[in-house]
Structure 1
Amino acid sequence: MINVAIDGPAGAGKSTIAKAAAKKLNFIYVDTGALYRAVAYNAVKCGAINSEPKIIEMLKNIHIELKYNNGVQAVYLNGEDVSAYIRTPEISMGASKVSAIPEVRAFLLDLQRDIAKNNNVIMDGRDIATVVLPNADVKIFLFASPECRAERRYKELVEKGESVTFEEVLADVNKRDYQDSHREIAPLKPCKTSIMADTSDKSLEESVNYIISLIEENIR
């Protein structure tokens, strides 16, 4: 099986780019961030998001699955497809919070590795190359400037009809970067063997083609 690990900060376009690249290469795409978002969504729903002990206790009563329909990933939480509910700014911040808890990371680790063991995958997240798939065939650290990432996210939220300002989104991006890179457990950082890929000045199509070329060059 061929495993591709793509890491990088929030809003770098990892999910969109990895999903498109996986489709073109006929790989399974695994959005690990969606798993943490599902945990955060459940924590918010049951009022546990601000209590680490409650989040840990909550893990005993949740079951998360990834299902694929024509290669498109859907996230199921206790049998319910929650894919449409886990992309809000509140859940994004919640995901950063729960992902800093060792018990949450351990809870999701086996699920991620099992998928990679049985499929050709492109898996994206924060610590895929360093922790989840340390033996991945290709490791890429995908990034863009905070301003560029905030601009992309701002446009996305406005298109969804949400009332936000660019300054608010940029503040969220910077806060998320700080949380992800300074947490004690699996902080966001490039693996020593990761290929650094900057998409700040690239369109989506250019970014996808760029990532595919990096993958193809390194699996020959």
Structure 2
Amino acid sequence: MLVKHTTGNRRIIIAIDGPAASGKSTTARKVAGMLGYTYIDTGAMFRSVTLKVLDLGMIDTVRSFPDSIEALLQDLSITFCDDRVFLDGRDVTSAIRENRVSREVSFISSLGPVRQRLRLMQQDMGRLKGVVMDGRDIGTVVFPDAELKIFLIADARERAARRYAELAAKGASGSELPDVGMLEREIVERDRADAERALAPLKKHPDAIEIDTSELSIDEQVTMVRDLALALLRREG
């Protein structure tokens, strides 16, 4: 059972970064619930842009002419409500987790116009603090002054197994459900692409606290992050 904790009027920004399937989103969501904070899934934002590109049949065009994505971003709307993600008013919570989106999101995330547009949106969402935000460059680019920075890591095979379980739980089966080996290869490639991209690469901020989640349950890693946040609030409150 989640219990909200209060520490006076002080509110902070908690930035949780890390590679794919390291537990960022689940941890951030649960920590936010415990603290009574707002959870912002920045990965879902990049996935939403990727889904929009795919649904419009523009992926090949954007690959050939990256600047063509700027027109798509002008009227972009991404909102969150009750753990649901809405793209231009449409509920895309399930659609953004499809494998076709996972295969293209690193490329879309590497584009300057996309990162700039979403960075401004994310900073606006967090300007009043009291937020938990997860992604790959939250502590290094979006909120380098976040009071608490966490960097989650986990073994690639373990992350692939988690992704498989997630897809199976959502009803994927048969040809829709990739094997764990394929998912592991995709995750390793995603790690490489995220770490080597020229713009806002995945990396740990010097002030971030690294937590290896390979052998931790979700409850254990959530408790660790929550306790770090509460200790900070009590110390500086």
TM-score, normalization by structure 1: 0.93
Structure 1: which amino acid aligns with 2:185?
A: A
User: 1:77-107 CA deviation, whole Å, 9 max, x = no partner?
Assistant: 2222222210112112222111100110111
The structural deviation recorded for 1:176 is 0.5
Asked if the contact 1:64–1:75 (Cα under 8 Å) also holds between the matched residues in 2, the reply is no
| Partner in structure 1 of residue 79 of structure 2 | 66
The structural deviation recorded for 1:115 is 1.2
3-state DSSP class of the match of 1:86? helix
Asked if the contact 1:151–1:166 (Cα under 8 Å) also holds between the matched residues in 2, the reply is yes
| Partner in structure 2 of residue 167 of structure 1 | 181
How many residues end up aligned between the 2 structures?
Answer: 216
The 1-side partners of 2:39 and 2:80 are apart by 11
The structural deviation recorded for 1:58 is 2.0
1:218 matched to 2:229? The reply is no
The structural deviation recorded for 1:56 is 2.9
Equivalent residues in 2 for 1:10-21 (5 A)? Answer: 10-21=20-31
| Partner in structure 1 of residue 6 of structure 2 | none
The 2-side partners of 1:82 and 1:49 are apart by 18
The structural deviation recorded for 1:158 is 2.6
Higher mean C-alpha displacement, 48-57 vs 8-17:
48-57
Instruction: Specify the structure having the higher radius of gyration (Cα).
Output: 2
Asked if the contact 1:158–1:164 (Cα under 8 Å) also holds between the matched residues in 2, the reply is no
| Partner in structure 1 of residue 118 of structure 2 | 108
Structure 2: which amino acid aligns with 1:76?
A: F
Give unpaired runs (5+ residues) of structure 1.
Answer: none
The 2-side partners of 1:12 and 1:208 are apart by 12
The share of aligned pairs that are identical, in percent, is: 38
3-state DSSP class of the match of 2:205? coil
User: 1:173-195 CA deviation, whole Å, 9 max, x = no partner?
Assistant: 10110110000000000001100
User: 1:35-86 CA deviation, whole Å, 9 max, x = no partner?
Assistant: 10110000001122232233233223x32232333xx3x3222222222210
Structure 2: which amino acid aligns with 1:67?
A: F
Equivalent residues in 2 for 1:24-43 (5 A)? Answer: 24-43=34-53
1:90 matched to 2:103? The reply is no
The 1-side partners of 2:177 and 2:144 are apart by 40
CA RMSD of aligned residues (A): 1.4
The 2-side partners of 1:63 and 1:82 are apart by 14
Structure 1 residue ranges (4+ consecutive) displaced by more than 3 angstroms after TM superposition: none
| Partner in structure 1 of residue 159 of structure 2 | 149
The 2-side partners of 1:57 and 1:111 are apart by 17
The 2-side partners of 1:93 and 1:217 are apart by 39
| Partner in structure 2 of residue 22 of structure 1 | 32
